[in-house]
Structure 1
Amino acid sequence: MILISWNIDSLNAALTGTSERAEETRKVLSQIHDKQPAIIAIQETKLRATGPTKKHQEILTAEFPEYDYVWRSAEEPARKGYAGTMYLYQKGLKPKVTYPEIGAPTPMDQEGRIITLEFAQYFVTQVYTPNSGNGLKRLSERQEWDKKYLEYLQKLDNKKPVLASGDYNCAHEEIDLKHPDNNHHSAGFTDEERTGFSQLLDAGFCDTFRKINGNVTDVYSWWAQRVRTAKANNSGWRIDYWLTSNRIADKVNHSEMIDTGSRADHCPILLDIDL
């Protein structure tokens, strides 16, 4: 079974935009569709609280006719059009869909950050982890989020195995970013965030990319848009992950990045697992 996860950086721009970047994003969506994944997880949809517009729905139906979809957007008191997540899944699948609140600091639970699909033998869940922000102004709230998210995954894992994906906004080890020495006080690579991710793995979850690919270097999932040379120089970070419960990690066949050419920001990540 193939599953793909991607922080798309605005679904509206991807579906209805006219810029060169929007065209690049649509090409990536086409790449994803061509791989015929069973499930597609999308983060940072940036849709309004009422979800996809009629136009969005028409385009999704035309471009992904084999898929049903569910979504979760930011709601008050969260900022409008902020964060948000979506799943597309093949129509033969009939998951139970939940939109959990994990007891995170306000308004994180209202930012549309988690959707979970429950199947007979396993859970599939995605997350768009809060960024600690400029000047690490949200770091303390981020640490509380990490604690609550871990508790949530453990509750799922106690019932049945878990496949978890998303933008975790954390490069776990020094080999997970190009310039670790310059970034120990940057959001996404602080000691606090890395410790939080270590605790997640120590609780019984596997970073499937590292399990399959070992300590390979210079493979990333995000390159800063604001730095024009970042993608060309492969000056990136690996902050997007497919995790599984340890007890099904040996069923993973592939865990890899999907090449997006010159397009910066996040690239999709693919998991091939025998379930």
Structure 2
Amino acid sequence: MKFISWNVNGLRAVLKKDFQAIFKQLDSDFFCLQETKLQAKQIELNFPGYQAYWNYADRKGYSGTVIFAKSPAIKVTNGIGIDEFDHEGRVITLEYEQFYLVDCYTPNSQQKLKRLDFRLKWELAFQTYLKKLDQTKPVILCGDLNVAHQKIDLKNWKTNRHNAGFSDQERQAMTSLLDKGFIDSFRFLHPETTGIYSWWSYRFHARENNAGWRIDYFIVSDRLKNRILKADILTNIYGSDHCPVELELKE
């Protein structure tokens, strides 16, 4: 069972950069996107054999998520059930017989951490939401979680110590999530691997110099760890400032 997650930084933009060919090439059972930057009916996009599940932000051209799934979900939930957090199209949950699949685009704390308080309130609420799901059946969480958890998850950790995505508070929030019975699938299989990132700034030739951050994840319930076959970051795929990340699980 194969899962792909990708922050496309504008679906209309990436459609002009061979997205449909990449989608077909990756041939995933589930294809989760973040930052689609769309409103309903702005594009017609259908992939044969897939169901599409969309969550749009109220604000035009902002945030947004979608999951393309080969198997129809038992239940679809947009948001986490808290009004303060459910207007930006950030979360889609698909329920299946044996697991929940959660596609997430975590709020960015922004320059000078001006949205950090909102971000930390989000983290508490979102972790409570995930833990509640996990009490019923295993969870597969994917998406742009907007945090590099460890020093090895970004190129220049010393100069980014108090910046958005690498603040002590955001890193601790990720630790807290993992302590609640979840696993970072990439680090589970590649505990010491360095120099593999999923996001690069468009400035300063960051991607050419591999001055990146690993902020895109597949986080799974601890009881799924023995089913993890593969957890990779597809750095050879272009089209966005992020690259896709991949998870394969035993059926």
TM exceeding 0.5: yes
Give the secondary-structure state (helix, strand or coil) at the position aligned to 1:196.
helix
Aligned partner of 2:76 in structure 1 is 97
1:67 Cα offset (Å): 1.1
What is the TM-score of this pair, normalised by structure 1? 0.87
Q: Is the 8 A contact 1:224 1:265 kept in 2?
A: yes
Write the distance in 2 (CA, Å) between the matches of 1:35 and 1:181: 35
The structural deviation recorded for 1:262 is 6.0
1:82 pairs with 2:57: no
Unaligned runs of 5+ in 1: 16-21
Q: Secondary structure at the match of 1:41?
A: strand
Partner of 1:67: 50
Give the drift of 1:66: 1.9
Q: Which residue of 2 aligns with 1:4?
A: 4
Call closer, same or farther: CA 1:94–1:130 in 2, change over 3 Å.
closer
Q: Percent identical across equivalent pairs?
A: 41
CA shift, 1:261, in A, is 5.2
Which of 23, 32, 36 in structure 2 is aligned with 1:32? Answer: 23
Instruction: Return the alpha-carbon distance in structure 2 between the equivalents of residues 190 and 222 of structure 1.
Output: 17
1:228-255 CA deviation, whole Å, 9 max, x = no partner?
x101110000000001100111100000
Tell me which protein shows more helix as a share of its residues. Answer: 1
* Structure 1 CA distance for aligned equivalents of residues 131 and 73 of structure 2: 23
Match of 1:266 in 2: 242
Matching residue of 2:173: 196
Q: Does 1:214 align with 2:177?
A: no
Q: What secondary structure sits across from 2:155 in the alignment?
A: coil
Q: Residue deviations 1:164-219, cap 9 Å, x none?
A: 00000000000000000000111000000000000000000000001111210000
The 1:94–1:185 alpha-carbon spacing in structure 2 relative to 1, beyond 3 Å, is closer
Separation (CA, whole Å) in 1 of partners of 2:34 and 2:103: 8
Within 1, Cα distance between the matches of 2:116 and 2:28?
35
**C-alpha distance in 2 between matches for 1:144 and 1:94:** 29
Change (3 A) 1:263 1:12: closer
Q: Cα RMSD over matched residues?
A: 1.5
Paired residues of 2:79 and 2:91 also in contact (CA < 8 A): yes
Count residues with an aligned counterpart: 251
Match of 1:125 among 87, 94, 102: 102
Q: Matches of residues 94-243 of structure 1 in structure 2 within 5 Å?
A: 94-103=73-82, 106=84, 108-227=85-204, 229-243=205-219
Aligned partners of 1:232 and 1:262 also within 8 Å: no
Assess, with a 3 A threshold, how the Cα gap between structure 1 residues 148 and 142 changes in structure 2: closer, same or farther: same
Counterpart residue number, 1:255: 231
Q: Deviations over 1:50-97 (max 9, x none)?
A: x133xx22xx22xx222110101112xxx322100001011x434421
Aligned equivalent of 1:19: none
1:39 counterpart letter in structure 2: F
Amino acid at match of 1:8: V
TM-score (norm 2): 0.95
